[in-house]
Amino acid sequence: MNSQLAEAWAHLPAYLGGHVAVSVTALLLGLAISLPLALLSLRRPTLRRLLLGFASVVQTIPSLALLALFYPLLLGLAALSERVFGAGFSALGFLPSVLALTLYSMLPVLRNTVTGLMGIDPAINEAALGVGMTRRQSLLMVELPLALPVIMAGVRTAAIWVIGAATLSTPIGQTSLGNYIFTGLQTQNWVFVLFGCAVAALFALAVDQLLALMENGLTQRRRARVTAGGIGLLLLTAAALVPGLSQARVTYVIGAKPFAEQYVLAALMQQRLQEAGHTATIREGLGSAVIFNALAAGEIDAYVDYSGTLWSNQMHRNDVKPRTEVLADVAQWLDREHGIVMLGSLGFENAYALAMPRPRADALGIRTLADLAGRASNLSIAGDYEFFGRPEWEAIRKAYGIAFREQRQMQPEFMYEAVSHGDVDVIAGYTSDGRIAQYDLTVLADPKHVIPPYDAIVLISAKRKDDKALLAALRPLIGAIDVTSMRGANLRAADGKASPRDAAQWLSDEIQRKQAGTKPGGPVR
Amino acid sequence: MTDRRPAISFDNVSKRYGDGGAPVLDGVSLTVREREFLAVVGPSGSGKTTLLRTVNRLIDPSEGVVRVEGRDVCELDAVALRRGIGYVFQGTGLFPHMTVAENIAITPKLLGWDRARMAARVDELIELVRLDPGKHRDRFPAQLSGGEGQRVGVARALAAGPRIVLMDEPFGALDPLTRDALGEDYRRLHDELGLTTVMITHDTLEATLLADRIVVIRSGRIVADDTPRALLNDAPNDYVRALMATPRRQAERLIALQNPAAGRAPQ
């Protein structure tokens, strides 16, 4: 527990810094856009309806989806700008997060500014003109000061929303307090999850109270309070940003998808690079499509993917080939289409596999997918968020004629628990997952070989293809990890007992031990 | 009084909104002379407030010409015009987020007076409207009584030293005692400062007791224009007669109540 807390503390400068940078930028940008728009729309009813309508629609989009949508949009724009101007920009992380959060901040500011200004007694507006104010003077001296409490309420709402939603910028590559939450959820590290939530909440509360102090100072005309609130906000922002800025620039960026195995492998690669005297950082929690595009764009330098994932998601193939041919085709395609180097396979597969508790499978006499087909209409299945949308699920259903009574999407961590308790009958698990053995599940055989092979492969960005230091540091991992070692490491990382870094260290020791064992006389450290 | 120069003149002024509807003002011609106190009386919706607002261009007429001190207002800068004319609003119109002093000093501030001159002027005006600078200067409008609020409203209108003051039912929302005192006090200021005042009211008694001259307006047209005495004694039509008879009848009933022998006792 204490070590988890210590690790959480160690991440705080980077995570909080990223979080503050993205939310403060989005909030400032949101204010800079929303306030003038609200003023502009004040005497233009059509524009006002359009703006408020647009902002309301944006608000109905779940924030995670809004953030996710900006990534491909910017990726397209970056490619266009690369083609037109010869210079692209990073579509990963900061930019899409800021833009999505900016949009997210607009509704409360727009709505409250319009409501506040339109709610002023017309007699007061008339008096402002009557004493000889211009429209502008009336706005600045009378209308805005009177609407200030309502406007500030909108700004405070926007601040809280943005700071909360910024935790969701982790999957599109922005380091934020969401890193605690996503990593914690994937590795069942509840200390991390709670820590991330608590820091985000404290930050939001602090900003809210400082804004309240400024508002109070403005309406009560206590200049000291306005100054104190402003300085407080600046100090808070600076305190969060400065430690992050002062951190040394890192040479290599390793990507990781949002699950335990990926965290462990990323940590392992980071350790390798650090041992070789380089600096390396991990961009974790990136979605499957995001991470591949990030590598193709050179925004990350290396990560581990799976041959079957690329085969179906990127190459759009649904035919089935033997393992080695798939690997060869994938390597060729990566090089041809993106200049990406496939350094090699780590030595194990992390394929999808349908699994069910051994006693239940034995009782029903189910050993293969073909056996399952006859019983499936009475059974339910759970899979992760991707599985039911993937071509191999389509292929399994077609090849074996399987139709389940019910299918449910679940956070992978909870699937195993659910199937062992009988909440669902079958799960689409992962072959390298330690919990298959832990929960005594039977992996159902695939006699027709419709599930593509999922060899774990190390990918290197085109930019780094000739980087000897990087290649030299990672090459020893090729072929060095068998599925038992990986399951062991995954189990350690997934139940929250060990951090991904500790699990990676264990895996590293395991690799050493096995290499020493199989190759007597090899180097022993 | 006819020897005085005209301060405000309306020449066949009409105001219409949209098309087809009845005009709010229908060919009004009227001259207000310097140092005159004119009351404009009429029922709600008669167009009297519209008439008042054409003077400082809060409303521009559809037809006709309004002149202030001989110049067509439509050729003047509206903002500069308004800064030069005092305006007392119905229900004070004070800015709730500004203190009494800031409210009073608003027009001087817009005119770019320096701080010391504004401060001196504020205290002078607070005393002029019979308030206490030490007590009231830094209060907010919400901390004032209705009468105090409208005294500040009058002070604000006078702040930049205008020669013309427009008043839109200034004392309408006040209790009778306050109203009477404020009316008297304002009339004194009007005379002392040599102002030209146009006051809108629907209270005939107030108009009769304060004004030099009463204009009765109905459905956008002037139906009477004379001194209070002349209108009381010889009204030009039945409507004006009924209007002018009301305060007199009230006064007679009051006297009867006080002294039953002098008149008919109320049943």
By the 8 A CB rule, do A379 and A366 touch? no
Summary mean pLDDT of chain A? 86
pLDDT digits (tens, 9 = 90+) for B134-175: 999 999 999 999 889 999 999 999 999 999 999 999 988 788
**Optimal mutation site among A125, A131, A140, interface B, most CBs of chain B within 10 A:** A131
What CATH number does the domain containing B221 carry?
Answer: 3.40.50.300
Report whether pLDDT(B267) > 50: no
pLDDT digits (tens, 9 = 90+) for A286-344: 877 788 888 988 888 999 999 988 988 888 887 778 888 999 999 999 999 899 999 99
Q: Is residue A31 part of a domain?
A: yes
Q: Is residue A448 part of a domain?
A: no
Q: Is residue A62 part of a domain?
A: yes
Same domain, B19 and B138: no
Could A127 and B95 be called an inter-chain contact, meaning their C-beta atoms sit closer than 8 Å? yes
Nearest-by-Cβ selection for A146 from B58, B80, B96: B96
Compute how many other C-beta atoms are within 10 angstroms of the C-beta atom of residue A437. 12
Task: Choose among B69, B5, B66: nearest CA to B33.
Answer: B5
Tell me how close the Cα of B259 comes to any Cα of chain A, in angstroms: 45
Residue-number span of the structural domain to which A412 is assigned = 352-443
In the chain, the amino acid numbered A142 is V
Q: Is residue B243 part of a domain?
A: no
Report whether pLDDT(B123) > 90: yes
Same domain, B16 and B129: no
The number of residues making up chain A comes to 525
A218-222, B178-182, B187-191, B242-246: which has the highest mean pLDDT? B187-191
Q: Is residue B219 part of a domain?
A: yes
Q: How deeply is A332 buried, as exposed, middle or buried, from its count of CB atoms within 10 A (0-12, 13-18, 19+)?
A: exposed
What ipTM was reported for this prediction?
0.88
State the pTM of this model: 0.74
Report whether pLDDT(A278) > 60: yes
Same domain, B80 and B2: yes
The H or E element that residue A183 is part of is helix A178-186
Q: Which chain A residues contact residue B152 at CB under 8 A?
A: none
Same domain, B196 and B73: yes
Would an 8 Å CB–CB cutoff place A216 in contact with chain B? Answer: no
Q: Which chain B residues contact residue A219 at CB under 8 A?
A: 97
Q: Which chain A residues contact residue B93 at CB under 8 A?
A: 123-124, 126-127, 130
Mean pLDDT of A411-418: 83
Report whether pLDDT(A524) > 70: no
The answer for residues whose C-beta is within 8 angstroms of residue A209's C-beta and 6 or more apart is none
Same domain, A49 and A87: yes
Report whether pLDDT(A246) > 70: no
By the 8 A CB rule, do B153 and B95 touch? no
pLDDT for the residue A518: 58
SS (H, E, C) chain B: CCCCCEEEEEEEEEECCCCCCCCCEEEEEEEEECCCEEEEECCCCCCHHHHHHHHCCCCCCCEEEEEECCEEHHHCCHHHHHHCEEEEECCECCCCCCCHHHHHCHHHHHCCCCHHHHHHHHHHHHHHCCCCHHHHCCCCHHHCCHHHHHHHHHHHHHCCCCCEEEEECCCCCCCHHHHHHHHHHHHHHHHHHCCEEEEEECCHHHHHHHCCEEEEEECCEEEEEECHHHHHHCCCCHHHHHHHHHHHHHHHHHHHHHCHHHCCCCC
Q: Is residue A449 part of a domain?
A: no
Same domain, A46 and A70: yes
Domain total of chain A: 3
Nearest chain A residue to B107 by CA: give it. A131
Domain total of chain B: 2
Mean pLDDT of B57-80: 93
Q: Which residue has the higher pLDDT, A514 or A92?
A: A514
| Category of B220 on φ-ψ map: left (φ > 0), alpha (ψ -120 to 50) or beta | left
Residue-number span of the structural domain to which B139 is assigned = 93-161
Same domain, A289 and A360: no
Would an 8 Å CB–CB cutoff place A84 in contact with chain B? Answer: no
Same domain, A404 and A335: no
Same domain, A133 and A219: yes
Report whether pLDDT(A36) > 90: yes
Q: Is residue A450 part of a domain?
A: no
Q: Is residue B251 part of a domain?
A: no
Same domain, A147 and A264: no
Report whether pLDDT(A258) > 50: yes
